[in-house]
Structure 1
Amino acid sequence: MVVSSESRLSRDHLQGGLIISVQAPEGSPMRHPDVIAAMAEASLRNGAVGVRLESPEHIGAVRERCPDALIVGLWKRSFPDSSVYITPRWEDIRAVWAAGADVIALDATARKRPSGQELEMLIEQARTELGATLMADVDSVENGLRAAALGCDWVGTTLFGYTEDTAQLSPPAMNLLHPLREQLPSSTLLVCEGGIASAVIAADAIDGGADAVVVGTAITGVDLQVAAYCRHLKRQTV
Structure 2
Amino acid sequence: MNHNSQILNQIKGGLVVSCQALESEPLHSSFIMGRMAQAAVEGGAVGVRVNGPDDIAEIKKTTDVPIIGLWKQEYDDSDLYITPTMTEIDALAEAGVDILATDATDKIRPGGITLDSFFKEVRAKYPDMLFMADCSTFEEGVKAEQLGFDIVSTTLAGYTKETAGRQLPDFDMLERLVATLSIPVICEGGIWEIAQLQKAFELGCHCAVIGSAITRPQLITKRFTDSIKEIQNENN
- Is the counterpart of residue 34 in structure 1 residue 31 in structure 2? yes
What is the rounded CA distance, in whole Å, between the counterparts of 2:59 and 2:189 in structure 1?
Answer: 22
- Is the counterpart of residue 10 in structure 1 residue 5 in structure 2? no
With structure 2 as the length reference, what TM-score do the two structures score? 0.90
- Is the counterpart of residue 223 in structure 1 residue 223 in structure 2? no
**Counterpart amino acid of 1:160?**
A
User: Is the 1:71–1:103 Cα contact (8 Å) retained in structure 2?
Assistant: yes
Return the offset for 1:71.
0.3
Which structure 1 residue ranges, 5 or more long, are not aligned? none
What is the rounded CA distance, in whole Å, between the counterparts of 1:198 and 1:97 in structure 2?
Answer: 33
Structure 2 counterpart of 1:107, from 103, 108, 111: 103
**Counterpart amino acid of 2:12?**
Q
Structure 1 counterpart of 2:201, from 179, 189, 206: 206
What is the rounded CA distance, in whole Å, between the counterparts of 1:141 and 1:42 in structure 2?
Answer: 33
- Is the counterpart of residue 197 in structure 1 residue 192 in structure 2? yes
- Is the counterpart of residue 142 in structure 1 residue 143 in structure 2? no
Matches within 5 A, 1:59-208: 59-66=56-63, 68-130=64-126, 131-185=128-182, 188-208=183-203
Aligned-CA RMSD value: 1.9
> CA separation of 1:155/1:87 partners in 2, compared to 1, >3 Å: closer, same or farther?
same
Instruction: Give CA deviations for 1:117-162 in whole Å, capped at 9, x if unaligned.
Output: 2212332233232232110000111100100110110100001111
With structure 1 as the length reference, what TM-score do the two structures score? 0.90
What is the rounded CA distance, in whole Å, between the counterparts of 1:237 and 1:108 in structure 2?
Answer: 43
**Counterpart amino acid of 1:32?**
S
User: Is the 1:5–1:102 Cα contact (8 Å) retained in structure 2?
Assistant: no
Return the offset for 1:232.
4.1
User: Is the 1:148–1:184 Cα contact (8 Å) retained in structure 2?
Assistant: yes
Secondary structure of the corresponding residue to residue 27 of structure 2? helix
Instruction: Give CA deviations for 1:177-202 in whole Å, capped at 9, x if unaligned.
Output: 222112112xx110000000022211
Secondary structure of the corresponding residue to residue 10 of structure 1? helix
Instruction: Give CA deviations for 1:6-62 in whole Å, capped at 9, x if unaligned.
Output: 465133x22211000011232334121111011101111221110001111111111
User: Is the 2:158–2:164 Cα contact (8 Å) retained in structure 1?
Assistant: yes
What is the rounded CA distance, in whole Å, between the counterparts of 1:54 and 1:10 in structure 2?
Answer: 20
Percent identity, aligned pairs only, is: 35
What is the rounded CA distance, in whole Å, between the counterparts of 2:41 and 2:5 in structure 1?
Answer: 15
**Counterpart amino acid of 2:72?**
K
What is the rounded CA distance, in whole Å, between the counterparts of 1:65 and 1:103 in structure 2?
Answer: 18
- Is the counterpart of residue 51 in structure 1 residue 48 in structure 2? yes
Return the offset for 1:88.
0.9
Secondary structure of the corresponding residue to residue 9 of structure 1? helix
Instruction: Give CA deviations for 1:104-125 in whole Å, capped at 9, x if unaligned.
Output: 1111011111111221233223
Aligned residue number for residue 233 of structure 1:
228
What is the rounded CA distance, in whole Å, between the counterparts of 1:74 and 1:146 in structure 2?
Answer: 20
